[in-house]
Amino acid sequence: MMDPGGGQIEGKIYVFPLRVYYEDTDFSGFVYHASYLRFMERGRSEFLRVCGIGHQELLQFAEPLFWTVRSIGIKFIRPARIEDALNVRTSVTGLTGARMLLEQWISRDQEEMTRAEVEVCLISAAGRPRRIPDAIRQRMEFYLEPVENIRR
């Protein structure tokens, strides 16, 4: 069976391909701004799943954990259109005690469409922040790429 995620790791960056559908656009035929957040969520979720720390794996901890977005800063550069083939790229740019910083950008061919700085953290089922377990931290350190090394 083919993997429905369909992405791949290129160096230390996860690349998730997707196509823009009618439901992703507004009345003008351009991608609706909130759709970019959904595209990035798919890219992040697939990246974490491929790294072995997706949602299902986190439920297996003695205290089940959940990834949540703490903050996101997004810059819209140019619009994507219906039927465009896009790539969502995800890179780890920082790890602290309880947070992971990611850089995500969406491109069409080599043309950058949007870019975001995303801060994610782990929480318990009660919604309380939790430190990133050593097993997860060690796995993610491999992908750590300081933001100044990421192509802009």
- Dist. CA 63–CA 16, nearest whole Å: 30
- Dist. CA 146–CA 108, nearest whole Å: 24
Cα distance from N-terminal residue to C-terminal residue, the chain: 36
Structure tokens at 50: 């491929």
* 26 is an active site residue: yes
Q: Is 75 helix (H, G, I), strand (E, B) or coil?
A: strand
b/e for 35-45, b at 16 or more Cβ within 10 A? Answer: bbbebbebbbb
Q: By C-alpha distance, which of 4, 29, 28, 142 is closest to 83?
A: 29
Point out the catalytic residue in the list 26, 84, 109, 134.
Answer: 26
Q: By C-alpha distance, which of 18, 127, 137 is closest to 80?
A: 18
Structure tokens at 86: 């896009």
Could you list the active site residues?
A: 26
